[in-house]
């Protein structure tokens, strides 16, 4: 694979000067054109040690308009990063639409290093690479252009450069292979790099291998390739991939073939007032205990509340928040996105709020909006909501891997009960603001919403992140069911943790370079 990067390509000083000036002008032009689009550009700068990655990045910063370019290096994990799912640090760096980010190594750095050092095997590496491919595909489909450069040197060239660097004070942060085994290490590194590149080299986010010995050749090639890639994307919009095939089932038209999970709910389940009060008090006391226990064990309870309008989400959430120590949880209401949020992938706004390990977070509406309201109302295209199931499952898997205890509640009420509540809201002065024309319009789409919920549960209720459907016609019953489910889940999850450590799914992943993992 790397043979073509050792052929000795060069560019003369004169040619460089001549071509550079034209290139700079063109780069500034496409950068300006970019600004008015929905495109985000991610440039990943990777390669062997001493290939001059820092020099390349400085060159790009010199050529591009620094307004609209951010560079990110991934240093040691901060404790805020350590206590969140591993990809949080990458989500933090994603630039808004119209801008460019240059990432040193990006998500490739840790897996390569881990495999090279023998901290994981090929299978673990492959699993991580599959995640990377999914991640890059997701970003690409959202309009991101990913350009990945790999800078390579021949064994002799690298050895020479490393020797030079070892005399240079600035090299102190660089890893220097032990000289005695250099040849062996060089080959081992190439072996890992080849596996990584091969498995993550997709048409939508290709790798570009660049011979790094001649700096002028290297920099001009990078500049021109980046220019070409942005130009092509500007001309062509998002590259087409086969559309996701997750079409909804085609159902026979008989009503009995269209029953949904929601139709099976027994909405008549009730509770006496005394039972309600007694159980509520006991469960509220327990949930606070468990929240403290989760804090101690650094396992974040992540609660998702979805449901029909007037389904009782607010009341159920309040029964939790009024019981749990306010230092321990955060409730995030999901309303219209801000413009910063709109300028990113739709999952970005959820990633940004993720709590530090041990803290509870409650999402009042969530990322499931993508496959519910956005699907039914047509705010998301068919492609967008169909691929969202897989995106969501992957997101939740990462939460769970990091030790989160994830619970998802769908609060349901019957059509009749919803009507009663709507009318009540209209008649009670301080509730009027809770009812809008939109609520009445949504009611007309009841069957579509039911179908969407049914499919959502089918595709996203997983062992590690199950949905709980809550019969909501009788509020007291619903609140107790939510609290009881929450307590049971936390109790079980935290009992596993005899040692008080975050274990998550127990799967050690290649690339998880966080200390203590």
- Residue 207 or residue 305: which is nearer to a copy of itself going by CB? 305
Q: Which residues pair with 302 in a beta bridge?
A: 361, 406
Q: Which candidate, 202, 148, 210, 189, places its Cα nearest to that of 7?
A: 210
Structure token pair of residue 238: 């998002």
Determine the Cα–Cα distance for residues 116 and 110; give it in Å rounded to an integer. Answer: 10
Q: Does 15 bind a copy of itself (CB under 8 A)?
A: no
Q: Kindly tell me which of 67 and 463 has the beta carbon lying closer to a copy of itself.
A: 67
Range list of β-strands (E), 255-373: 301-307, 329-333, 360-364
Q: Which listed residue (14, 178, 274, 339) binds a copy of itself by CB under 8 A? A: 339
Query: Rule CB under 8 A: is residue 21 a binding residue for a copy of itself?
Result: no
User: Rounded to an integer, what distance in angstroms lies between the CA atom of residue 37 and that of residue 52?
Assistant: 31
The CA angle 359-363-364, to the nearest 5 degrees, is 140
Give the up-direction half-sphere exposure of residue 146: CA atoms within 13 A in the CB hemisphere. 26
Residue from the set 67, 167, 273, 463 that interacts with a copy of itself by CB under 8 A: 67
Does residue 465 contact residue 459 with C-beta atoms inside 8 Å?
no
For residues 15 and 325, which CB has a smaller minimum distance to a copy of itself in the complex?
325
CA 210 to chain centre: 29
Q: Does 315 bind a copy of itself (CB under 8 A)?
A: no
- Which one among 29, 164, 382, 438 touches a copy of itself, defined by CB under 8 A? 29
Q: Does residue number 292 form part of the binding site for a copy of itself (CB under 8 A)?
A: yes
Q: Which of residues 295-314 bind a copy of itself (CB under 8 A)?
A: 314
| CA dist., res. 400 & res. 135, Å (int) | 17
Does 163 engage in binding with a copy of itself (CB under 8 A)? no
Which SS3 state, helix, strand or coil, does residue 42 take? strand
Q: Within positions 417 to 436, which residues make up the interface with a copy of itself, using CB under 8 A? A: 429-430, 433
Interface map 341-380 toward a copy of itself (x if CB under 8 A): ---------------x-------x----------------
Our CB check for a copy of itself shows the closer of 43 and 261 to be: 43
Would you state the torsion angle of the CA atoms of residues 487, 489, 492, 495, taken in this order, to the nearest 10 degrees?
A: -70
Contact 292, 329 (CB under 8 A): no
Query: Of 231-290, which residues contact a copy of itself (CB under 8 A)?
Result: 288-289
Considering only 7-15, 63-71, 418-426, 456-464, which stretch makes contact with a copy of itself by CB under 8 A? 63-71
In angstroms, rounded to a whole number, what is the distance separating the alpha carbons of residues 199 and 148?
13
CB of 467 to a copy of itself, least distance (A): 22
Phi/psi at 146 (5° precision): -110, 120
Specify the residue, 29 or 194, whose C-beta has the smaller distance to a copy of itself.
Answer: 29
Binding site for a copy of itself (CB under 8 A): 25, 28-29, 32, 54, 57-59, 61-62, 65-71, 73, 75, 78-80, 102, 104, 169-170, 288-289, 292, 314, 317-318, 321-327, 330-331, 333, 335, 338-340, 356, 364, 429-430, 433
């Amino acid at each position: 694979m790397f043979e073509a990067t050792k052929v000795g390509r060069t560019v003369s000083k004169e040619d460089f000067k001549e071509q550079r000036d034209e290139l700079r002008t063109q780069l500034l032009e496409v950068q300006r054109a970019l600004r008015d689009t929905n495109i985000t550009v991610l440039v990943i700068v990777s390669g062997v040690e001493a290939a001059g990655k820092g020099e390349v990045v400085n060159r790009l910063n010199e050529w591009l308009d620094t307004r609209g370019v951010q560079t990110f290096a991934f240093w040691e994990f901060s404790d805020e990063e350590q206590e969140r799912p591993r990809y949080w640090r990458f989500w933090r760096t994603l630039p808004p639409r119209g801008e460019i980010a240059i990432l040193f190594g990006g998500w490739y750095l840790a897996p390569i290093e881990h495999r090279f050092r023998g901290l994981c095997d090929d299978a673990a590496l492959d699993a991580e690479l599959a995640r990377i491919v999914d991640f890059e595909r997701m970003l690409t489909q959202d309009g991101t252009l990913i350009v990945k450069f790999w800078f390579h040197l021949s064994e002799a060239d690298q050895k020479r450069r490393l020797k030079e660097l070892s005399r240079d004070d600035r090299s102190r942060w660089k890893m220097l292979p032990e000289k005695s085994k250099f040849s062996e290490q060089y080959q081992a590194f190439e072996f890992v790099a080849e596996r990584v590149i091969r498995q993550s080299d997709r048409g939508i986010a290709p790798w570009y291998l660049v011979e790094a010995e001649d700096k002028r050749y290297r920099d001009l090639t990078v500049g021109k390739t980046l220019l070409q890639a942005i130009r092509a994307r500007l001309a062509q919009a998002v590259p087409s991939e086969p559309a996701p095939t997750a079409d909804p089932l085609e159902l026979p038209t008989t009503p009995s073939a269209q029953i949904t999970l929601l139709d099976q709910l027994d909405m008549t389940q009730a509770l006496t007032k005394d039972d309600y009060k007694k159980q509520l008090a006991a469960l509220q006391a327990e949930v606070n205990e468990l929240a403290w226990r989760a804090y101690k064990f650094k396992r974040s309870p992540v609660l998702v509340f979805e449901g029909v309008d007037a389904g009782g989400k607010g009341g159920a959430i309040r029964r939790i928040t009024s019981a749990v120590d306010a230092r321990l949880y955060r409730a995030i209401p999901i309303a219209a996105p801000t413009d910063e949020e709109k300028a990113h992938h739709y999952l970005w706004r959820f990633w940004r709020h993720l709590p530090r390990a041990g803290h509870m977070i409650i999402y009042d509406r969530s990322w499931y909006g993508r496959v519910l309201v956005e699907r039914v109302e047509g705010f998301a295209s068919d492609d967008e909501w169909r691929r969202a199931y897989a995106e969501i499952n992957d997101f939740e898997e990462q939460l769970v891997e990091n030790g989160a205890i994830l619970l998802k509640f769908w609060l349901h009420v019957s059509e009749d009960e919803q009507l009663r509540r709507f009318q009540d809201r209209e008649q009670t002065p301080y509730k009027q603001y809770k009812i809008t024309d939109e609520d009445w319009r949504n009611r007309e789409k009841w069957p579509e919403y039911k179908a969407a919920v049914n499919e959502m549960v089918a595709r996203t209720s997983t062992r590690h992140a199950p949905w709980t459907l809550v019969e909501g016609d009788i509020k007291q019953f619903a609140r107790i069911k939510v609290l009881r489910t929450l307590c049971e889940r936390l109790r079980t999850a935290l009992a596993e943790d005899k040692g008080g450590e975050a274990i998550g799914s127990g799967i050690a992943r290649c690339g998880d370079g966080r200390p203590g993992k």
